[in-house]
Amino acid sequence: MENLLRYAEKLFDEVEIAVYRSREVSANVELNEISMTGVRSGAVTVIRGIKDKRLGLAIVDSDEENRVKEAIEQAAKMARLNSPDEKWVSLPKSGKYREKPKPNYELKEASPDVLVEMLVRAIKLTREMDKHATVAGGGGEISWNESHIMNSHGIDVSQEGGLSYMLLEFVGRKGNVVTPGITEFEARKDLNLNVEEAVERGLKKVSWAYNVKSSKNEEVPLIFSPEAIAFLFYGALFPAFSGERLVKETTPLAGKVGEKIASEVITLYDDPFHELSLLHAVSDDEGVPLRRNTIIENGTFKGFVWDNYWAKVYGTESTGNGQRDLRSGSIRIGLNTVVIEKGKRSLEDMIAEIERGYLVDGVQGAHSSNPDNGNFAVTANPAFLIENGEVVGSSVFLIAGNVYELLKQASEVSREQTVMPVMYTVVSPHIKFENVKIAGK
Amino acid sequence: MENLLRYAEKLFDEVEIAVYRSREVSANVELNEISMTGVRSGAVTVIRGIKDKRLGLAIVDSDEENRVKEAIEQAAKMARLNSPDEKWVSLPKSGKYREKPKPNYELKEASPDVLVEMLVRAIKLTREMDKHATVAGGGGEISWNESHIMNSHGIDVSQEGGLSYMLLEFVGRKGNVVTPGITEFEARKDLNLNVEEAVERGLKKVSWAYNVKSSKNEEVPLIFSPEAIAFLFYGALFPAFSGERLVKETTPLAGKVGEKIASEVITLYDDPFHELSLLHAVSDDEGVPLRRNTIIENGTFKGFVWDNYWAKVYGTESTGNGQRDLRSGSIRIGLNTVVIEKGKRSLEDMIAEIERGYLVDGVQGAHSSNPDNGNFAVTANPAFLIENGEVVGSSVFLIAGNVYELLKQASEVSREQTVMPVMYTVVSPHIKFENVKIAGK
């Protein structure tokens, strides 16, 4: 790769070569049966070169020298055809990286058998614990990723690591009642996924869901699960932290640095080194060192996250949030591991003091939220009715509102945190919001 | 592969090996610049074996003997762990194929340069023809696919072919007006995409769109473009043709064979051999011979389409509509090339006799249509206002209704047909519907 970088340097003013290798084994479940096992592996190399401020970008699904060389030439041709991007400043320079974490090498060579064994165990346990319940869907994946980022300003960083995850969707059928799908995730940086706990958590919710309660228009406290938080914030809140949106004036957080945007209980940072993070990386996809960035501290907005391009356009530096989309090859601003700080009391204690309210375990429709202003309209499903400190049944209702108003209604976060490997990796506690208006369905 | 089939036959009662090889070159456009070129290629092998009615399914992204052998063993292990599927009958037997069409071998070895040249030409032409217009997005792709389907009942069929397509999204900015994105497609089984025509069509619509007209609640004739038809029917209508849905009682067409479900002007068939089809195949993904299936003839529903599994569960035969999802490996019922029969008069003539109405060029939100009953709610955008036989401006409005009611309101289909390589391949004329209620926005 060194030789290829030297070759590319002759064709461009600045150039970056990023090589990604991955392997993933997977297994799926459908209606209590294993429906598929798979093994996939591959390499992708992305060339990004700049000549007279003109961009050339080529992707090839290989790390072989001759094919990467062809891609370099393709990128050079493309740069000649494009117009200059007058906003272009430069690729990033080398920085100091943290010590590389030691990955678990069992993940690198894992067989799908490991997943099949876990899923069969989950199905068996489910049947034993509740004869009315099935594992309706889901599956598992063990992935291993290696990357090598190099550029003509001296960046040269390699990293590797893997993760395993499992997703189980439970459905119960009792008499006329078919429960909504109850989804449980487990994700780790080793193979020790806790099948038993995931099944127990899921079946507890299924047992609640057999008791269907109608919903009505009311104003009640809601406790959002980590999953519900991850989906809702992914659509309505996280994009607003992007520096690109600050430059383009499409974030409602413009001019809000130092201002309260949430209640005191909300502290949110992007921390790839958090103990529950699923990353092994020390740099982002442009080779910029990863670091912990505080975004909301006790309710106060602390600042935006940046990739190299938009940071330089704005006159600041990348925060290590340049992420590469391997379909388009382009770098986008993304969060590495969103962490919402945990609290002191357990979810159980939080539920115990609610006279009437709901535990919102999942939200649907969050993808149509509007990050330009924070508006959202979602269906809470499954949601569990809490009466006199106890969960008494399940329900479905609508919540339409604004994520910034919701953030100000946050009154407590639970002691337990869960990592959700959904889109961004999100580490979140349960969060309680006071006086939320809901619409019965 | 013969040896591997013999090996697999020892482990299963019945077994299928399907090998797919593909190569695709692509180039993207963003804001009048080429933003990426890419080359990808790969192989995927799917093993489907049945032992005592127990399914084993394994996927490997390779066609190498040792890796396929491992996948066969993986599928055999999985079959032992699963419960029997009592509905299972058998894999398909060999049948008679049509003569294989000759593919264009230029597509097999094409360089991204071909696409870059076409896109640069499109951008240049756009700027020359309308200085207020840009090619805001889009791109092109040249793909080549080979497959080899074998099973233990004597099926052994290989096929190959390619296609090229281009998508251009135009936006015009004049004074305070920013037009909606105007999308034009071109798709062919060779490299002769007509860039000039696509640009001319797009810019004609941009010129209409500069003149923004407000919409109101009214009942008017609408002409749907092939693109709008493809998106709307994909969500609301096409799934209802699936035999699986007949068995599962989730299609409103159950019991409707021989009945009128659309006006006389609607004839719809699935014809992989149609002159505008983008397929080169002679068999589906289970090795069943492809054929032309009439689904709606002069408004009368003629019957469902089937894959092997659901056909046998129902007691009929596959219609050659078994399509493999290469992520999950599973076979699903899909349409090969939907063709809606064309009419006698040109779109121009159809527009000329409308006093007040709209030409709906695109629909948004069609993915949330409900194929169980045909209900849909979409935003018509872009839509062009027609007054006294001429297009006078562009507008946006909502259409909520039922696709079967709409089909009965169809009064004419245009002489011109366009092929849309979107999800399913759809060949469609423009279709006029009378007295459609629209809601102004």
**Mind listing the pLDDT tens digit for each residue in A286-301?**
999 999 999 999 999 9
- Check A82 against B39: CB less than 8 A apart: no
Query: Nearest CA of chain A to the CA of B90: how many Å?
Result: 17
Chain A interface residues (partner B, CB cutoff 8 A): 28, 32-42, 55, 57-61, 67, 70-71, 74-75, 77-78, 81-83, 85, 112-113, 116, 120, 328-330
- Put residue A397 in one of left, alpha, beta given phi > 0 → left and psi -120 to 50 → alpha: beta
- Check B34 against A78: CB less than 8 A apart: yes
| A chain contacts of residue B75, beta-carbon cutoff 8 Å | 37
Nearest to B113 among A28, A55, A77 (CB): A77
Structural domains for chain B: 2-208 (3.30.2290.10), 211-440 (no CATH)
Give the pLDDT confidence score for residue B423 in this predicted structure.
Answer: 75
Query: Nearest CA of chain A to the CA of B120: how many Å?
Result: 8
| CA–CA separation, B122 and B135 (whole Å) | 8
Mean pLDDT by 10 residues, chain B (441 residues): 93 98 96 94 96 96 95 95 94 94 94 95 97 96 97 96 96 94 94 96 97 95 97 96 97 97 98 94 97 98 98 97 94 97 97 97 88 95 96 95 97 96 89 96 81
- Check A36 against B330: CB less than 8 A apart: yes
Question: ipTM above 0.90?
Answer: no
Among B24, B37, B59, B127, most A C-beta atoms within 10 A, so best to mutate, is B37
Query: Nearest CA of chain B to the CA of A419: how many Å?
Result: 25
Per the CB < 8 A criterion, the answer to whether A407 and A261 are in contact is yes
| B chain contacts of residue A28, beta-carbon cutoff 8 Å | 328
| CA–CA separation, A91 and A312 (whole Å) | 9
Nearest to A38 among B32, B35, B59 (CB): B59
| B chain contacts of residue A59, beta-carbon cutoff 8 Å | 36-40
Among A31, A39, A120, most B C-beta atoms within 10 A, so best to mutate, is A39
**Mind listing the pLDDT tens digit for each residue in A387-400?**
999 999 999 999 99
**Mind listing the pLDDT tens digit for each residue in A239-270?**
999 999 999 999 999 999 999 999 999 999 99
Among B21, B29, B30, B39, most A C-beta atoms within 10 A, so best to mutate, is B39
> What DSSP string describes B369-422?
-BTTTTEEEEEEEEEEEEETTEEEEEEEEEEEEEHHHHHHTEEEEEEEEEEEEE
Nearest to A57 among B35, B83, B329 (CB): B35
Give the pLDDT confidence score for residue A46 in this predicted structure.
Answer: 97
Among A70, A78, A367, A368, most B C-beta atoms within 10 A, so best to mutate, is A78
Give the pLDDT confidence score for residue A365 in this predicted structure.
Answer: 85
- Check A61 against B41: CB less than 8 A apart: yes
- Tell me, what DSSP letter sits at residue A214? -
Q: What's the whole-model pTM score? A: 0.89
Per the CB < 8 A criterion, the answer to whether A169 and A195 are in contact is no
Give the pLDDT confidence score for residue A96 in this predicted structure.
Answer: 94
| CA–CA separation, A399 and A438 (whole Å) | 5
- Check B36 against A59: CB less than 8 A apart: yes
| CA–CA separation, B77 and A92 (whole Å) | 50
Give the pLDDT confidence score for residue A357 in this predicted structure.
Answer: 97
Give the pLDDT confidence score for residue B2 in this predicted structure.
Answer: 84
